[in-house]
Structure 1
Amino acid sequence: MSNTQNGNRLQGKVALITGANSGIGLASAKRFVAEGAYVYITGRRQEQLDQAMAEIGENVTAIRGDISKIADLDHIYSVIKAKHEHLDILFANAGSGNLEPLGKITEADFDQTFGVNVKGTLFTVQKGLPLLKSGSSIILTGSTTGSKGTAAFSVYSATKAAVRNFARSWAVDLKGSGIRVNVLSPGATSTPGLLDLLDSTGFQTQALQGFSDTAPLGRVGAPEEIASAALFLASDDSSYMTGSEIFVDGGLAQI
């Protein structure tokens, strides 16, 4: 996919992107830096974070942490506060999920998925709130699965439906603050996370073909395409948007 040329839509802004060691988070970090932002990225694996930093190249700090752990979030924000004292963009992107049909869902999988996607998103935003000021943007990563039924993916889908309501409710909570909060909901996107998940089933090729056949645009998305929408929500171009959801899904959830 072609990339838009570098600009200055985020010039001088400070951003945090969780789960940015690969996929959509990494593509967004690259785009934000190219548009003038200083970006903090987080992830659970140091080796991947180091590789992501090398790919981004400049104006980036990586902080290892698990957003489902409060102590890790406290550490992440202490590093940001010490260096920049504020945030302009908070992209709560980290998420996880497993394929388990009803009848085979385990307590451990439920706790892990809700712990990261719901609890982690909640406290990522709540603990970051003191660093945000009027004009700041909060972006939550949703999913088409939050609006559709998906076989063997009900737990993950339920977490994304919760994330969607977070934005609606927090838009009301933040009324008068000048801080906006919106949801970015990708469809099937060619990320390491999705490819690894599908590979574990032994039907990666068939599943990807199924996604392509279902979407009106006839293909899965690229992380860079989702990053372009994240840039819009992060920038002042979306200054009159809050509580909204943007789908970048090739039409998958729109028909």
Structure 2
Amino acid sequence: MTRFQNTSILVTGGSSGIGFAASQAFAREGARVVITGRDAAALDTAKNALGERAIAIRNDAGSLAAARELAAAVDAQGVRLDAVFINAGSAKFAPFADVDEALWDASFDTNVKGAYFQIQALLPLLNRGASIVINGSINAHIGMPGSSVYAASKAALISLAKTLSAELLPRGVRVNVVSPGPVRTPLYGKLGLDAAALEATAAQIVGQVPLGRFGMPEEIAATVLHLAAPESAFIVGSEIIVDGGMSQL
């Protein structure tokens, strides 16, 4: 398929996991892909895998300054965007009693403030008819113990998508959310848990998924591309949950 021939797509957090899978899928369908990330080595590896037309920009999503820097870097490349996948995020889990201000700030700075101001900064670079897809999470819906801060940050993004849909439609810009369930990505190694706790948590999570497994990044990417493509032009301010049935229990 070549749904994205002659388009330019930005994927934040595009050097690994769901972001990289989406970047690969966009590139396979003809898009020029711009990816961001914090790790220079991972960015270089991802850029090489995506091909010579790809652009990699080192950027730490989480502040107004970083959002403006990324928009300026994209603009300097002469790129105008047909779709944006706001994917960069932080997942830190802790029992409610153990949550401190630092964990709260790190989660909301990256997941909410970074996303909010990134979209704002990119507005002048969006072509009419552009699509914005935000990476949410089923944690916003299921009340998983230990996920209070992460879940709240993702719930904020889902609400933001609905509001921005109303505000940006006059510009011809659609905003939607894909909310994955548990997906086998490097993010699960960054939850702040030791190896034993991580293994126990993974087993517990899989036990709650009717399909009996973690999802694959490519399965989430397929929905991202659908929401970014013209075929979904009548989908506005919506959330698509991709969780193997986990939220239906």
Match of 1:38 in 2: 32
Match of 2:23 in 1: 29
Helix, strand or coil for the counterpart of 2:171?
A: coil
Q: Deviations over 1:144-181 (max 9, x none)?
A: 00111011110000000000000111111123222100
Letter in 1 for 2:59: G
Match of 1:232 in 2: 226
Q: Distance in 2 between matches of 1:97 and 1:205?
A: 16
* 1:125 aligns to 2:119 (yes or no): yes
- 1:202 to partner: Cα distance: 2.0
How big is the alpha-carbon RMSD for the aligned residues of Structure 1 and Structure 2?
Answer: 1.4
* 1:248 aligns to 2:236 (yes or no): no
1:165-244 equivalences in 2 (<5 Å): 165-197=159-191, 200=194, 202-244=196-238
Letter in 1 for 2:236: T
Q: Indicate the structure with greater helix content.
A: 2
C-alpha distance 204-100 of structure 1, shift in aligned 2 (>3 A): closer
* 1:154 aligns to 2:172 (yes or no): no
Q: Distance in 1 between matches of 2:192 and 2:60?
A: 23
Helix, strand or coil for the counterpart of 1:193?
A: helix
The total of aligned residue pairs comes to: 249
Helix, strand or coil for the counterpart of 1:214?
A: coil
Letter in 2 for 1:161: A
Percent identical across equivalent pairs? 41
Match of 2:106 in 1: 112
Q: Distance in 2 between matches of 1:9 and 1:85?
A: 19
TM-score normalised by length of structure 2: 0.95
Q: Distance in 1 between matches of 2:218 and 2:173?
A: 25
- Structure 1 residues without counterparts, runs of 5 or longer: 1-6
CA contact (8 A) 2:8 2:79 kept: no
- Structure 2 residues without counterparts, runs of 5 or longer: none
CA contact (8 A) 2:9 2:84 kept: yes
* 1:12 aligns to 2:10 (yes or no): no
Helix, strand or coil for the counterpart of 1:125?
A: helix
Q: Distance in 2 between matches of 1:66 and 1:95?
A: 10
Q: Distance in 2 between matches of 1:242 and 1:42?
A: 25
Helix, strand or coil for the counterpart of 2:187?
A: helix
Residue 95 of structure 2 is aligned with which of 73, 89, 101?
A: 101
Q: Distance in 2 between matches of 1:64 and 1:70?
A: 15
Match of 1:3 in 2: none
CA contact (8 A) 2:91 2:190 kept: no
Q: Distance in 1 between matches of 2:114 and 2:190?
A: 22
Helix, strand or coil for the counterpart of 1:10?
A: coil
